[in-house]
Amino acid sequence: MLLSAFMPQPGLAQLSLELPATEPVEAPPRDPLPRATPPAPRPLRLTLGEAARIMREAVKDKSYRSTPVGLEVAHFIRWFRNEYGATAETLRDYEAILSKLALDHADLELTDFEPPAGTTRLREFIDER
Mean pLDDT for the stretch of residues 8-19: 56
For residue 13, pLDDT beyond 80? no
Mean pLDDT for the stretch of residues 109-115: 94
Domain limits, the chain: 48-128
The model's pLDDT over 20-72, given as tens digits with 9 standing for 90+, comes to 666 666 666 776 656 666 666 767 788 888 877 887 777 677 888 999 999 99
The more confident residue out of 73 and 44 is 73
Q: Report the pLDDT value the prediction gives residue 1, as an integer from 0 to 100.
A: 47
DSSP the chain: -HHHHHS--TTPPPP---PPP----PPPP-PPPPPPPPPPPPPP---HHHHHHHHHHHHHTTGGGGSHHHHHHHHHHHHIIIII---HHHHHHHHHHHHHHHHHTTT--GGGGSTTHHHHHHHHHHHH-
The more confident residue out of 20 and 12 is 20
For residue 97, pLDDT beyond 80? yes
**Cis peptide leading into 116, omega within 30 of 0?**
yes
